[in-house]
Amino acid sequence: MIGAAHSNEKQAPPMPSVPSSTPPVVPPVPTVKDDSESDASKRQGSSPTRSRASTLSISEFAVDASPSKAAEEAKNNSSRLAELDKALAIALEEQKRLSSELDNLRNANNELRVRADDEAEQKRYWQKKHSTLQAEFDDLRERFVSRDQLWKSEWQKKSGDVLDERDELREKLHAAQKMGSSHEEEAVDLRRQLLDLKHSISTSTRMESQVTDQIFAQEMVTLNHEIQNWVVNNFRRTKSVDFSNLPSTLKEALGRTVPLYETLAGSAKLSIYQAMVMSHLMEVFNPKYFFGLPHDGPFGQLESIADHFRSMQASADAPSVEYSQWRSTTFELVRQSDDGDLADHTSFLTDQIVDDVDNILSDLTATESSSARLETLRSIVERAIAISRLFSVQRAEFSFELPCPSAVKEIEFDGALMEDINGEDATELERRAIQCATFPVVYKIGDERGENLHLRNVIIKAKVLCGETGTAV
């Protein structure tokens, strides 16, 4: 449109000069098309001939028109030109703005292209890095799998060797235990033979049947070892007892022998069993005069006679040595006799003790009795009877006491009377409450001649199980 305007301006001819003498010829008023129509005709594709005709018409009109109309036309053209200039300036400004935006878009496009190139480069780098790491990972996994298989095979081989070695050691241990058990039995048998020999020598070199305190101590130690071995050999592998589910009769029996059985740990079960055995043997060691005396027969009146002499002894101003001698001599004769009533009654009492102990421990440990177990227990009871009778024929008197702590009767450890079954030092156990006793303390009253009955000495200490440090039963 702007170009068309300039073209029209260039095509407009200068106004011709008209002589003043010649009157002007008024041509017919041509039909003048405005610029918009011209532009529209141009847009519609007007032919060159038609354009030239329009130009000629304008020229003719310019020649023939009056000066006022020409001036008005010039003014209109000038105004039109100003508008076109203004439109041109706006268009140029818009072109400049669009050019600036185009430059910005080009710069942004360049930046995006650079960024895309960088990202593509980074992508290629990370793809390469990923490929490298993936290859390393695959290699490590391969090595791990191969090494795991290798280690697994080595571990299986070593574990097999260890299991074989364990089985071999277990067999050796079992063999050693059997050998140790046989050696222990042999040692006990040899110890018994030695004590019998010492007892024989002592009785043959001393008057009558008096025995030294050392021999009594050795005899009692041997008896304690026999009881301990019998309990360990027969009940070591039994399960710990659930005291809450025991029958009432069994609880009563336990309450009489080991009142604190519920407070003892499972590891102390053997101590409980040994304490129960010893509590039944206390009947053997605490007879009135002599264990096994029958109530009938030639020995049936001995207890009554001894009671009479003892009452005489108690009413006398001073203890009589003759009573001690009579008691020692009389019961020594009974001990060496082969009276049938004495043997039968002793056998009856022995069977009763063996049955009571075996039945209680069988119920407590849920085990079945065996002939070997009963035979060994019977030999222990018979040995205890023999030792008790040997004590009974001494001129000195002996007293046996098995400590029996309970919830209402606390007994503290006393190093002068007790020894810990676990071998702890006596000084560390002072003032600690004991939980049970597995062997009695033995007091000797008087001397070997039956004199000085005011003397009271401990010849054998009790074997006890102590509680934890700082705890009271």
Write out the chain's pLDDT in tens, 473 residues: 444 444 444 444 444 443 443 444 444 444 444 444 444 444 444 444 444 444 444 454 444 556 788 888 888 999 999 999 999 999 999 999 999 999 999 999 999 999 999 999 999 999 999 999 999 999 998 888 888 888 888 888 888 888 888 888 888 888 887 787 777 777 777 777 777 766 665 554 444 467 888 999 999 999 999 999 999 999 988 887 777 788 888 888 888 888 888 887 666 889 999 999 999 999 999 999 999 999 887 888 888 898 888 888 776 655 568 888 898 999 999 999 888 889 999 999 999 999 999 999 998 888 899 999 999 999 999 999 999 999 999 999 999 999 999 888 889 999 999 999 988 888 888 888 999 999 999 999 988 887 887 889 999 999 999 876 544 33
Question: Would you say 462 and 437 are in contact if contact means Cβ atoms under 8 Å apart?
Answer: yes
C-alpha span between 235 and 224 (Å, rounded): 16
DSSP-derived 3-state class of residue 425: coil
Task: State how beta strands 456-460 and 418-420 pair.
Answer: unpaired
Backbone φ, ψ for residue 201 (5° rounding): -65, -40
How many CB atoms lie under 10 A from the CB of residue 229?
16
| CB burial readout 403-422, b (16+ within 10 A) else e | bbbeeeeebebbeebbbbbe
| pLDDT at 338 (0 to 100) | 82
| pLDDT at 408 (0 to 100) | 86
CA atoms within 13 A on the CB side of 179: 6
C-alpha span between 440 and 461 (Å, rounded): 7
Nearest to 27 by CA among 52, 55, 63: 63
Q: Which helix (H) or strand (E) holds 473?
A: none
DSSP 149-184: HHHHHHHHHHHHHHHHHHHHHHHHHHHHHHHHHHHH
End-to-end CA distance of the chain: 123
Task: State how beta strands 462-466 and 456-460 pair.
Answer: unpaired
Q: Which helix (H) or strand (E) holds 349?
A: helix 340-365
To the nearest 10°, the Cα dihedral for 328, 332, 334, 335?
A: 130
Tell me the one-letter amino acid at 286. N
**Maximum CA extent, the chain:** 208
pTM for this prediction: 0.56
Order across the sheet with 397-401: list the strands.
397-401, 441-445, 456-460
Nearest to 224 by CA among 268, 275, 183: 275
DSSP 186-208: HHHHHHHHHHHHHHHHHHHHSST
C-alpha span between 70 and 73 (Å, rounded): 5
Residue 240 buriedness (CB in 10 A; 0-12 / 13-18 / 19+): exposed
Question: Would you say 427 and 256 are in contact if contact means Cβ atoms under 8 Å apart?
Answer: no
Q: How far is CA 250 from CA 122, 238, 255, 359, in A?
A: 86, 17, 8, 10
